[in-house]
Amino acid sequence: MDKTRYSNFYPILLLLLIYTSVSIGQPSKIVIAHRGASGYLPEHTLAAKALAHGMGAHYIEQDIVLSKDDQPIILHDIHLQAVTNVAEVFPSRARADEKYYAIDFDLAEIKRMKVTKRSDIEKNTIVYPKRFPPHQSTFQIPTLSEEIELIQGLNHSTGKPVGLYVEIKAPTWHQQHGKDISQVVLKTLNEYGYTKRDDLVYVQCFDPFETRRMRKVLKTDLKLVQLIGFNHPNSEIDYEQMMLSSGLKLIAGYADGIGPSMQHIVKGIQKDGQPILSSLVQDAHRLNLEIHPYTLIADRLPPQVSDFDHLLRIFFLDADVDGIFTDFPDLAVRFLNNQGSGIRPEDRTTSDRATAWLDQHLRMNQIQAIGSHNSFKETIDPSLMQIIRQLDPDTADSLDYEHVSLTEQLDLGLRQLELDLFYDPEGGRYANPYGITAAKGMNLPPGPPYDAEGKMKNPGFKVLHVQDIDFRSNCLTFKDALKEVHQWSKVHPRHTPILITINTKESVIDQLNFVQPLPFDRQAFDRLDQEILGVFEISELIVPDRVRGDYQTLETAITAGQWPTLKESRGKVFFALDAGQEKIDIYKDSHPSLQGRILFVDAEEGQPEAAFRVINDPIENQQYIQDLVLKGYLVRTRADADTKEARTGDTTRLEAALTSGAHFISTDYYLPENKFGTNYWVQLPTQTPVRFNPNFFLDNLSSSLLE
C-alpha cells in the first residue's frame, strides 16, 4: 500500500477507528440558546445574545411580539412587567387586569424601559435568584432588526455561522388586535435575506393553525417548527392528538420539525439514572421531522437527575433528539465537544461528535455511490421489440432493460440519475412515435396508451432514449423529472448529494418516418438552465460558481480540494453535461470556467471548466480513474453496459469500478436481475447507499455512510 496516499486523512481514519458504529447520515446535534445565554444575563437582551454567540450556540432564539406601531420586538410575553420596569416609567398605563401589554406602547416608549431579571408577578419573587442581579447594568428590549444585525455582524466578524430561531407569540391575540404578526416577522426576515429552506433560521409557533398558515397561505419556504405544549381546557388546540402518529403525519405536511416539552420525551428517571422514554423521537424521525425539546436548565434540574451533563446525556444520547433549547449554551456545546463532559465509554460509539466532525470535514468527493443508466427508461412495447429483434438481435438485446420510477430509485439509495434530453421548443415533435404506428401497421398487439395526458405536445425538453423506437419513459418531460427529484429531496433533506447527468440527444436516424432531432445550440442550453431553475432554487443546487469560489478557474478550485463538505452538500442536487467537446464549447460560450452556468461538464483535464469526468470503461481505465479521483475530479463510470454483464453474471467491470474509486457507478441492475438466470446485482460492498471512497480510506475502515 502506498501510505502517502492516505497521509492527509489520518485524522478521519482515527475517528473511524474510534467511532466504528457511527452513522453519519443522522442529523447533527444543535444547541439553541434559549432567549440567549439567559442563564448568565437577562433574557432576550442583546448582551445575552452576544454571549450566546461567543459560547458557540448554533442557533439563538427570538420570541416576537408586536408594539403599538407594528415593530417586532424581542419579548417572551405579550405583557411587560415580568422583565421590565414598565410600572415605574408608565405607572398609569396598565389595563384593567393590572398588566402592561407591549401592544399598548410604541417602540419609542418601549425603549425608555429597562430590562431586568425575570420576576413572578403573582408571587412577587425572582424566578432565578442566583442569576444576573436585578437592576445591575442597563439593558433594553431589542427589535428583531437590531438582533438580526447583531448576529449577522458577529457571523461576519467571527466567521461562525450562527442562526436565528424565531417564535411567533400569540398570533390569534395579535389578530384580535388587528395585527398580522406572522406577516410582519416573515417580511422582516426576508428583508435580511432569510427566504430559503437552507437559510440559517427556524420559525416556530405553538399555534398549529398559524404554523400551517405560514406555509400554505403566506408561502414561506423557511424551516418551520410546530411547538407542542400541554392541553388547556380553554384552548381548542389538542397537543396530545398532535403527538399521535396521525397528528405527526399532519405536522409533517407543513412543518420541518417539532418542539415538544422535555416531559413529552422523558416520562421519568429511574433510580439508576436511566430515563423512561416515550416513542415521540422515533415517531418524529420516521416522518423526517427534526425534534428540538425545551428547555434544559442547569440551575433547575428534574428529580433523579444528578447533574446537567446527566440531563444532556439523556436527551442527546439516550433520546437522540436533534437539538435542545437551553439557558446554558456553553455547557451544552462543551458536552457535544466532549470536553470534560464525562460521556460514558459505551456511549462513545454513538456520540454525535463523530457524526458532526465527519459531516464538517468529509467532502462530497470522498464518498462513493451507485447510480443508474438511462434512469427514465421503461420497457419497449413487446410488439415493437419483436420487430427490432427481427431486424437487429444485438440492438434488441442492448435495449432489453427497464427502470422503476425516479422516486423508487432514490428510495433504494441511488444517488446518480441519467436523463436523455431532446430539444422541443415548440412542443409535439415527439408526441407520435413511429414505432406505435409501425406495430399497428403490421397487425401486432398494441402497447399501453402513450402520453394519455398529452404532455409531449407541450413545449420543453423531452426525456426518451431513442426517438420512435425506445420512447417509453417514466418521466416524459424534463420538468416532470425535475419536479419528482425536487419533491423527493424536500422530503429527505439530509440526503447525500444527487448527481443528474444530462445527455443531449440529436443523432439523426436515417429511416423514413423517423423524427429528426433539433440541435442543441446556445439558445437550447440557455433554456435548459432556465428549466432547472424553474423548479430548483439556486440554493438547492451545487453549481460551478459555488465550487469555484474565489479561485480563478473551476479546475484550480477542485484540485485544491474545494468541493463542498458533506454537511454543505446534504439535501442538494447537481447536474453534469455528458457530451462531446463541441457541445461543451457551445455551453460554456460567454461563460468562462462555467460562470453563471448550472451544469458541470465532462471536460478534459487542463481546461478551466474541468471538474467532472465520464469514464465509461473502468477496466481499461482503472488507474486513470484513480488518478483523477485523487487529483480532485468527480468521476462517473459504468458497472455494466448493453445488458452484457447481466446476461453472463460477469462482475469484473463492477469490481474494477468499485476499486477505481469512481464516485458514481452507473448500472441498469440496482435490483437483482433474474431474467437471464444470473441474479446479477450491483451494490456497494457495504450494502449501503453510500460508502467512504476507497481512494481515501482503507478497506477495513470503510464504515457505512447511512442515510
- Residues known to be catalytic: 34, 76
Across the strands, what pairs with 140?
none
The verdict on whether omega for the bond into residue 295 sits within 30 degrees of 0, i.e. cis, is yes
What secondary structure, in 3-state letters, does 231-245 show? CCCCCCCCHHHHCCH
Kindly compute the dihedral angle of the four CA atoms of residues 248, 253, 256, 261, in this order, to the nearest 10 degrees: -30
Which contacts of 444-450 are long-range, i.e. CB under 8 A and separated by 24 or more positions? 444/383, 444/384, 444/386, 444/387, 445/382, 445/383, 446/381, 446/383, 447/381, 447/382, 447/383, 447/384, 447/472, 448/381
- 10 Å Cβ neighbour count for 217? 11
Other C-beta atoms closer than 10 Å to the C-beta of 550 total 6
Q: What is the DSSP letter of 27?
A: P
Give which of 35, 135, 45 is closest to 85, Cα–Cα: 135
Distance separating alpha carbons of residues 244 and 249, to the nearest angstrom: 9
**Cβ–Cβ < 8 Å for 291, 275:** no
Closest to 40 measured CA to CA, from 148, 140, 136: 136
Q: In the structure grid, which three cell numbers stand for residue 524, read together? A: 437550447
What would you report as the CA-atom Rg of the chain, rounded to the nearest whole angstrom? 29
Return the C-alpha cell found at 260.
Answer: 415538544
3-class SS letters over 415-484: CEEEEEEECCCCCCCCCCCHHHHHHHHCCCCCCCCCCCCCHHHCCCCEECCECCCECCECCCEHHHHHHH
Tell me which residue of 275, 283, 277 sits closest to 258, measured CA to CA. Answer: 283
